[in-house]
């Protein structure tokens, strides 16, 4: 997957987790937490959806890498490039 495909996939996951959020205005360099009403349970769901959909394991110490769209795509790029 290319970075833009990964971004689209993350948007799709966020849409599943928080169906009432408007994701079209999401700023990639700002933390999700500042823009969306996501709590720790929702962050776990991002991890779980990545595992369910793409068999990607995100270790607990790496959860911080999923703070914003930019950092998430950067973290996933090497892990999803062959998908």
Partner 1 sequence: MYDTIIIGAGMSGLAAGIRLAYYDQRVCILERHSTIGGLNSFYRLRGRDYDVGLHALTNFTQRGARKGPLARALRQLRFHWEDFALAPQVESAIVFPSVELRFSNDFGVLESEIARKFPREQDNFRRLVASLVDYDDLQPQHFCQSAREFLNAAIGDPLLREMLLCPLMWYGNAREQDMDFGQFCVMFRSIFLEGFARPFAGVRLILKNLVRKFRALGGELRLRSGVELIQVQDGQATGVVLENGEQLAARRIVSSAGLVETLRLCADITTLDPVQAGRLSFVETVSVVDRQPGELGHDRTIVFYNDTEQFHWTKPETALCDVRTGVVCSPNNFLYDDRDGQLPDGVIRVTALANYDRWMQLPDQEYRVAKLHWYDRVVESAVRFVADYRSRVVDTDMFTPRTIRRFTWHDNGAVYGAPEKRIDGTTHLPNLFLCGTDQGYVGIIGSLISGISIANRHCLRE
Beta bridge partners of residue 31, listed in sequence order: 68
Binding status of residue 65 toward partner 1 by CB under 8 A = no
Cβ distance 73 to 26 under 8 Å? no
Q: Match 């987790």 to its residue by tokens.
A: 17
Binding status of residue 61 toward partner 1 by CB under 8 A = no
Residue among 1, 3, 11, 21 that touches partner 1 (CB under 8 A)? 21
Binding status of residue 14 toward partner 1 by CB under 8 A = no
Can you list the alpha helix ranges (DSSP code H) found in the chain? 3-17, 32-35, 40-54, 69-80
Binding status of residue 53 toward partner 1 by CB under 8 A = no
Residues lying near partner 1 in the complex (CB under 8 A): 16-21, 37, 39-42, 44-45, 48, 51-52, 60
């Amino acid at each position: 997957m290319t970075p833009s495909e990964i971004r689209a996939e993350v948007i799709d996951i966020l849409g599943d987790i928080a169906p009432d959020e408007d994701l079209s205005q999401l700023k990639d360099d700002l933390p999700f937490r500042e823009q969306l009403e996501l709590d720790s349970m929702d962050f776990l769901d991002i991890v779980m959806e990545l595992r369910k959909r793409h068999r990607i394991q995100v270790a607990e110490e790496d959860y911080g890498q999923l703070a914003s769209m930019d950092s998430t795509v950067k973290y996933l790029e090497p892990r999803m490039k062959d998908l």
